[in-house]
A and B are shown apart, each in its own frame.
Chain A
Amino acid sequence: MYITSNEIDQRISRLKGHSIPFTDFPMRSIVLNEGVTSYNLTLVNGMINR
């Protein structure tokens, strides 16, 4: 670990035992092949809200 000052050290220490919320939005894609009019696709298997 590289600490440049006490202030930064204190700021990093504040993270100990805490958490930061963030919004996760992974982009996924499925290729639809030509020549067909109807597609059945599986998007997610398991917990959806994870």
Chain B
Amino acid sequence: MPELMVFGLMDVKQYAGAYDQSCTKFTRNGLTSFELSLNSDVINGYPLEMKGIDSIEFYHRYLQNTNRLDNPFCSTVITHAQYDNCNFLLVHNFDDGEEGQLTCKLKFANALTEKLMLIYMPVSEKRLHFDNFFNVLKQ
């Protein structure tokens, strides 16, 4: 079962539901480096870093981890520009049964001038189990 985690950056106003801002637009917000660590060990393949002004590493990893890279059966693949401008998401697939303290390290080109939100979404397959008395157990 694929188990993954999705990360994105967003303004606090956007997150709060401002009428003039999209709540599904994710941009880089000056992020230059992203590193994931499990039990203080940096996970293989990290950190992701900017190459000058180019975010190709982030884009490449996004395509790879969402199974879109070099996949002829994938109907649409967003362009690098679309990724940069409004779909800047980071995706990581975890191996089965990994356990411990998951931390991330973010670096920005400049100190943030206003608060920012890091949104993250762990995706996992679960089950609702019904026993003979219709007690429901989430597994």
Residue A49 CB within 8 A of the other chain: yes
Q: Is B79 in the interface zone, CB < 8 Å from A?
A: no
Contact across chains for A36 and B111 when beta carbons are under 8 A apart: yes
Residues of A near B132 (CB, < 8 A) are 16-17
A5 proximal to B (CB < 8 A): no
The B-contacting residues of A in range 3-49, CB under 8 angstroms, are: 12, 15-49
- Shortest distance from the beta carbon of B128 to any chain A beta carbon, whole Å: 5
- A interface bracket (residues with beta carbon within 8 Å of B): 35 or more
Main secondary structure of the interface of A (DSSP, over half): strand
Q: Are A21 and B127 in contact (CB under 8 A)?
A: yes
Q: Interface 1/0s, chain B 12-47, versus A by CB < 8 A?
A: 100100000000000000000000001000000000
Q: Known: A32-B118, A49-B97. Is A24-B126 also a contact (CB below 8 A)?
A: yes
Main secondary structure of the interface of B (DSSP, over half): strand
Q: Contacts A29-B120, A37-B108, A48-B94; is A22 near B127 (CB within 8 Å)?
A: yes
Judge whether B100 is part of the interface by a CB distance below 8 angstroms.
Answer: yes
Establish whether residues A29 and B101, one from each chain, have CB atoms under 8 Å apart when the complex forms: no
Which residue of chain A is the closest to B97 with respect to CB atoms?
A: A49
Please give the distance in Å from B108's CB to the nearest CB on chain A: 5
Q: Within 8 Å CB of B70, what residues of A?
A: none
Which of B15, B108, B134 is in CB contact (< 8 Å) with A29? B15
B residues sitting closer than 8 Å to A (CB atoms) are 3, 5, 12, 15, 38, 94, 96-132, 134, 139
Residues of A near any B CB (own CB < 8 A) = 1, 12, 15-50
Shortest Cβ-Cβ A-B pairs, 3 listed: A19-B129, A44-B102, A15-B130
